[in-house]
Structures are given as C-alpha cells and as structure tokens.
Amino acid sequence: MEMTDKKIDQKISLSRKISYGIIAAVLVLIILEITLRLAGLFPARKLFEKSQSSASWQENLFAGFMGIHEPAPELLWKMKPNLNKTFVQTNSRGLTGRLIPYEKDTAKLRILVLGDSTPLGIGLKDWDNSYVWLLQEFLERQLGREVEIVNASTAGYTSRQGLEYLREEGLKYDPDFVLVYLGNNDASYNGYLSDSALMAQASEYIGLKKVLNNFKIYRMLKSILIPLKSGTKDYEGLELQVRVPPHRFENNLAEIIEISRKNGAGVILNTIPVPLTWPPGVEFKVFTTGRDTVSGQLFMPQKQREILEQKMSLALDWEMFRQQYGQIDPWSQRVLQSAYTDSGSIVENIAGYRRLLEGDSSNSGYLNNIGVLYWQSEEYDSARIYLKKALSYDPADPSVMYNMGMTFLKQGMTDSADHYLRMARDYDYNSLRIKSDYNEIIENISQNKGIPLIDLKADFERLGREKLFVDHCHPNQIGHRIIAEQLTDKILEIINSQN
C-alpha cells in the first residue's frame, strides 16, 4: 500500500513539474511578446515575403520588380494596390485601370484579360497606350455601348498564375470574354522548382501562418530562421526547371477554357509574337550578380550562373538593332552590353584561340569565338566554318545557333538565317520569350476545343516582325495597335454571329 501511495505521489509531482514548466514557458513567451511590442521591434510585414532561395530566383526578382509588386502566396507575387507612379497607377485591387465592381451591368460588355507584361504595357513610354485600352476605345466606338476591361495582367506571369487568378478573383467579375496573352515567361529557367511546386509550397498552412503572423515572437523567429534555412538548402544534383513545362502549359490553357465556359464567358486565344534577332541569354545575364537583400546570397542558382557566365561571344549588329528596334532604351542597352566580347586585335585574338584549340580541339566556346571574330571582320564564309564546327561539338548551344543565323543574315540567305535564329530562340531558356512548341500548343488547343484564335505571330511576321518590337518580347506602339485591331475584329465577329 505504501509503495502504491508513493507512486501516486511521484506521478502527481511529475504532473506538477510539467504544469509549472508549461506555465513558466507561457509566461516567458508573454513577457517576450510584450517586450518586443514595447520596443517596437519586428514590425508587422506582409505575411508572405519574397523567396530568399535560389530554388526560385525569378520569384525573388519579380516580387520586388520596379517597386510595383508585392509577394502573394496564391500567385507568388501581384501588383501593389493604389500605386501612383509616373508610369503606372493601380486601383485598390492592384489592377491598372479604374476599379470595376464585381456586380456586372448587363448593358455593358465586360472583358477579362489574363496576361503578362505585354498587355500591361511594359516597353511603352505610357502604359495607358497598351492594346488593352486601345481595344476598349475601338470596341466602344464600334458597338456604341460601354465596355469594361479588367486588366489582370502582371509582369512575369505564367499560364499557371493566370489560371490561379481566374479561379480566385477573375470569375467574380462575371466576364463576357476572357482574353489570354500568356506564354513568354513559361519556358524560362527559374531555378529548381516549377511554378506549380512553388505555389503549392507557398500556400501550405496559410490559415495557421496568418494567425501566427500576429505575434512578434513568430516574426522574430522567421527573421532568424529563414535566412539560415535558405543558406543551408542543398540543391546539388538537381536539374534546372522551366517555370511551366509544355504539358502543364497545355493543361493550364485547357483549365482556363473550361472554367471560363462553365461561367458563360467566351475565350479568345492568340499566338505570341516575339522577335528573332534578339540575342539569347543576355536578358538573364545581368542578374547573375544579383543578391537577396535579406540573406545577402546570390539569388540565381549556381548551375544557371555557370551557363550565363561562359565566355561565349555573340554576333551583335548594333546598327541593325537601331534600325529594327528604334532608339534602344538604357536598360536594353545594358542588357545587350552584358554579352561577352573579346577586346584587342581581332587577328591576335584569333591566333590566341587557335593556340588554345591545339590543346582542346573540341572546345565549342573557342570555335564559336573565332567564328564571331571572323564575322566582325566580315569574313562570313570563314565564320560559318568555325560556327559549324562549334555546333558539331555542342548542337544545343543557342549562342552558336544565333551567331550562325546572324552570319547567314549578313550573306542575304534569309531562309537559313531564320532557321538558325528560330532554333536559337527555342533552345534559349535564359530569356523570357515563348518557344515554338508553346505557340503550337496554343494553335492545337484552339482547334481541338473550337476556341477563336488570332495568329499574332503570323500577323507580326507579315507586317514588320522585328520593327514591331522594342526589345526581346514587348511590342512597340504600332505592334500594340495591330493587336487591338485584330482583337476588335474578332470580338465584333463573335458578337455579330450571336445576334
């Protein structure tokens, strides 16, 4: 009996110790929380900060892009509300244009645009001259009724982000038409995780995170642990991932179509036009030294940096760029100037590379650079010989393909030039330009599902191609007008067929 009583006393004593320990821990946390609040430390921030991991460097870049974006769990990033910058203004929902109420006036035509930086207007001096607002003007003039456009376009968006916006927000507007301009950002390297993986990761335990974010202790621990976590993450052995691979691009478009149709909205697709003579890789090269402002780490994956930092010369024709793209803006000039180029005497550089080839005859970089040096000397046949050798050793290098295309262009062999320049674009995952297979998916899904299609790619090639762009993918004012006119004609055709 005495042993039983002793055991009971021991259990009670242990329970009391555990209870006292919990109470003491809670009191310590309460005191720490009060101290942090009184001290004004760790102020309330957005719950979802930009990534500090090289697993998703574009998320890091775009989350703070031009001061117009903010992190968002469901979408990775979104436009800030109530912006009032000289080049862009947003409403209280973070969209350009006036605030459109969710409830629709049936007397008005309502259009939802799911897009990236092009329909947003990036590349134009005045973003209000985007084809979106030209479309509104043209339709109102033709229809004699008010047209409301919800421009849900955001720089850097992929088809995955467009689909998520439609699900979470776009359907609330009950649009009559959904226009889709997505694809330039899908086929680009973001790091080691796709958009789908990143969005699933960011949305995990959202409810709990929102509650915890009210406490300064949680915010303090986050500020300490997240940089440590990102610094110790090991991605060795993993392959670089495009943000949205082709099969997911097709699925995303199919879901956009299905959801829109179920909600009574017509969908209009278009192929995405891009220039051919814009060089590969340079667009991302300027970000190889970019560092996260919190952790101080280089935010581009090492594997991607190694690709971009290779000393591969490009056959850049500055006079041609000025003729095709007009006045090159300072940012585009910096991007183009980031390309590697040999300094000094062309003859001496060729001799130097030939000596290097004696010890490494299959080095495609040396062969490529000799080819570019001959191109600079206007010895185009010699340039082609070395570039052909470079491709034989590295048949998937977009820089060599581009240089071969530019050589054929100088020789007036436009068909061969177009062939290599298209290949260079399609093998270049270090830029934000749609690839041929993504445009083919748009065409096929339009045909298979009976969706109206505007072939802007063909229109731009027919009406001026390179002269309709300001950079790697953004149309100039003439290009925007062409898009607006084509969309106007298609929408009027659909409306008239329904009457």
Nearest to 135 by CA among 278, 268, 27, 274: 268
Predicted local confidence at residue 231, as pLDDT: 47
- Written as six digits, the tokens of 442 are 């748009």
Strand 69-72 and strand 109-115: the pairing is unpaired
Question: Nearest 5°: phi and psi at 250?
Answer: -60, -45
Give the closest residue to 424 by CA, choosing from 246, 244, 282: 282
Q: Of 494, 496, 499, 482, which is closest to residue 138 (Cα–Cα)?
A: 482
Q: How many CA atoms lie within 13 A of 137 on its CB side?
A: 10
Residue 129: exposure state from Cβ atoms within 10 A (0-12, 13-18, ≥19): middle
Measure CA of the first residue to CA of the last residue in the chain; give whole Å: 95
Residue 120: closest CA among 146, 89, 92, 74: 89
The whole-number pLDDT of residue 11 equals 58
Task: Give the per-residue pLDDT at 54.
Answer: 52
Q: What is the pLDDT of residue 26?
A: 77
Please, what is the Cα angle at 434 between 431 and 435, to 5 degrees?
100
Task: Please tell me the pTM assigned to this model.
Answer: 0.86
pLDDT of residue 224: 59
How confident is the model at residue 228, as a pLDDT? 47
Half-sphere exposure of residue 348: CA atoms within 13 angstroms, side-chain side: 4
Task: For residue 24, count other CB atoms closer than 10 A to its CB.
Answer: 10
The predicted-structure confidence for 282-325, as pLDDT tens digits, reads as follows 988 888 887 765 566 777 888 888 899 999 999 999 999 888 87
Tokens of 129: 């001259």
Q: Which tokens hold the place of 142?
A: 């033709």
- Closest by CA to 286, choosing from 275, 272, 300, 297, is 300
pLDDT tens-digit series, residues 190-208: 888 899 988 887 765 556 6
Q: Which residues of the chain have pLDDT under 70?
A: 1-12, 14, 32-33, 36, 39-55, 203-236, 292-296
Q: Delineate the domains of the chain, giving CATH numbers in brackets.
A: 57-274+439-498 (3.40.50.1110), 312-426 (1.25.40.10)
Q: What is the DSSP string of 424-461?
A: HHHT--SSS---HHHHHHHHHHHHHHT--EE-HHHHHH
- Within 10 A of 66 (CB to CB), how many other CB atoms are there? 11
Contact 148, 103 (CB under 8 A): no
